[in-house]
Structure 1
Amino acid sequence: MNNHIGVVEDDSNIQNIVSAYLKKEGFEVTVLDNAEDAWEFWQTDRPDMWILDIMLPGMDGYEFCKKIRNESEVPIIIISAKDEEIDKILGLELGGDDYLTKPFSPRELVARVKRLFKRSQVLVEKEELEDRVTVDQLTIDKKERRIFFDNQEFEVTTKEFDMLSILTENINRAFSREELLIKIWGDNYFGSDRAVDDLVKRIRKKLPDLPLETVWGYGYRLRHEGDQV
């Protein structure tokens, strides 16, 4: 599916030129004359990027940018005849990702659109990568709190998940029972550190091939010989 771009601009000539150049590059484009209609459109069909004029009838572009940014991190490119430094700073401070002064080259706008989409995708991929930790056959999805071993999902309790997360994020490091007790149960827990041993037993029962090692007289660690992904 092509990226969808919302263009908020009241000048029909600019509308036509921008729309034509973006469509030529394969983007889906929706053109709106004012910020009120754009805001209503946003409630039902959310573009992947906004190209936004500042000087609009009714609600101006600054206010629209602020409203969008309160709800989403969708990329926003501001286009404006206002070329003073203070105008650019205000637009960026209100959440704009880029600022292009009129008159501008349509080709430059397209280049900035592509660059911003590429940067946004890199950030999304980075976040997704940070949300998943893989060690050998074990994968932990921290965002969805799911555990996979050898491509099979296993149901785990909250504390089982917490222990596995701690151990995979600190691969090959030995944790004492007391450290694990504090990290998983909290400072105010007054029970025995045998609770840690019981938790390890439950994990080993569910994942018998997991290299969860006992460090005798001390605690536990998750062993891994290669590089962490």
Structure 2
Amino acid sequence: MEKSRILIVDDEERIREMIREYTILEGYDIDEASDGIEALELFKQQEYSLIIVDVMMPKMDGWSLCREIRRISHVPVIMLTARGEEYDKLFGFELGVDDYIVKPFSPKELLARIKAIIRRSSLAGPKNFRGESINHEGLVIEFNSRNVYVDEKQISLTPKEYELLNYFVHNPNQVFSREQLLNSIWGYDFTGDNRTVDTHVKMLRESLGPYRKFIVTVWGIGYKFEVGVKR
């Protein structure tokens, strides 16, 4: 089996060294970059299973790097930062960050999250999609390409928004609690809380425009995907 390759991007050499030592012991191949520009060049030359990105870096910061990566790829991204405010986390999720770890952090915790994200990513390929596309009124989802269209206009979703939409459309009319959605989309080992689900549902609804109506809030329980009902 081919090894998973990880790109570590941090301007602090000691942080890169610590992450490298733990990940190599687990059998991962590792590349390193000390700033966003160097990382972007490596990313264009090599395929990665995961990218670990520090926020505050010279030349190109982590936010800008993630934005550039998301223009061309859905590769999982873990953001490392000394800033733990909720606003920063929400901003990261809007850019398409898959997980968010605040410094200082436990290397073992980071390794557990790396394993969980790579495992989920390996299971999220087209082989799990039933059919090539789904069309609900003017909402079209093409599963092989991960393209989503609203009234024939392609929209941009973050990886987690897309996974959430995909989960909803393949389980129509089923009511899911926030805990169930956390476990199914983020995994049992995700350390966030229920607000993560609410935030991503809100973002997804905004992206879907008039078809936000398909994502129905079931008060006191959670959410469901319902079509064919006028609201």
TM-score of the superposed pair, with normalisation by structure 1:
0.56
Deviation at 1:128, TM superposition (A): 5.5
| Partner in structure 2 of residue 215 of structure 1 | none
Residue 126 of structure 1: CA displacement?
4.5
Quote the residue 2:113 is aligned against.
112
1:64-75 correspondence runs (5 A):
64-75=65-76
Alignment RMSD (CA, Å): 2.1
Alignment partners' CA distance in 1, 2:123 and 2:47: 20
Counterparts of residues 192-203 of structure 1 (less than 5 Å): none
Q: Which runs of 4+ in 1 moved over 3 A?
A: 125-131
- CA shift, 1:88, in A, is 0.9
Q: Secondary structure at the match of 1:5?
A: strand
> What is aligned with 2:29?
28
Q: C-alpha distance in 1, partners of 2:127/2:45? A: 28
Q: Distance in 1 between matches of 2:76 and 2:128?
A: 16
Scaled by the length of structure 2, the TM-score of the pair is 0.55
Residue 4 of structure 1 aligns to which amino acid in structure 2? Answer: R
* Deviation by residue 1:94-118 (Cα, 9 ceiling, x = unmatched): 0100000000000000100010011
1:175 counterpart residue number: none
Where does structure 2 lack aligned partners over 5 or more consecutive residues?
A: 133-142, 145-231
Match of residue 195 from structure 1? none
Matching residue's letter, 1:91? G
SS at structure 2 position matched to 1:108: helix
Match of 1:103 in 2: 104
Cα distance, 1:14 vs. partner?
0.7
- Structure 1 residues 161-180: aligned runs within 5 Å: none
Equivalent-residue separation in structure 2 for 1:28 and 1:129 (angstroms): 33
Please list every run of 5 or more consecutive structure 1 residues that lacks an aligned counterpart in the other structure.
Answer: 132-141, 144-229
Hey, what's the Cα distance between the residues in 2 that align with 1:119 and 1:62?
23
- Once the two structures are TM-superposed, the CA of residue 121 in structure 1 deviates from its matched residue by 1.5
1:3 matches 2:4: yes
Give aligned pairs, total: 135
